[in-house]
Amino acid sequence: MFRTLNEIRNHLSEKIGKEVILTSYQPRNLVIEHTGILAKLYSSLFIIDIGDTSKTVNRVSFSYSDILKGDIELTFN
């Protein structure tokens, strides 16, 4: 897949504003999935807006190294 943080950053820069399925691998074999929109990219992290049925929007941020380490996985529709 990706070998460097720059490859991840460049790939995500093309996907800003698109819907994404976020799969987060937690301790004790817990897997959490959310659907959201890739909102912003910064030099060391990116932000995903996770909407729910209410009028509030939750934001989560991850570093590019989380993808590199396999802690999270992003799937674009």
What is the predicted pLDDT for the residue at 1?
A: 74
Give me the domain span that covers residue 71.
5-76
Q: Is 53 exposed, middle or buried (0-12, 13-18, 19+ CB in 10 A)?
A: exposed
What is the predicted pLDDT for the residue at 77?
A: 84
9, 41 contact by CB (below 8 A): yes
Q: How many domains does the chain have?
A: 1
Record the pTM: 0.86
CATH of the domain at 72: 2.30.30.100
What is the predicted pLDDT for the residue at 56?
A: 74
What is the predicted pLDDT for the residue at 53?
A: 59
What is the predicted pLDDT for the residue at 47?
A: 97
What are the pLDDT digits (tens) for 6-64? 999 999 999 999 999 999 999 999 999 999 999 999 999 999 999 765 677 799 999 99
How far is the CA of 63 from the CAs of 24, 52, 54, 59, 70, in angstroms? 13, 23, 27, 14, 11
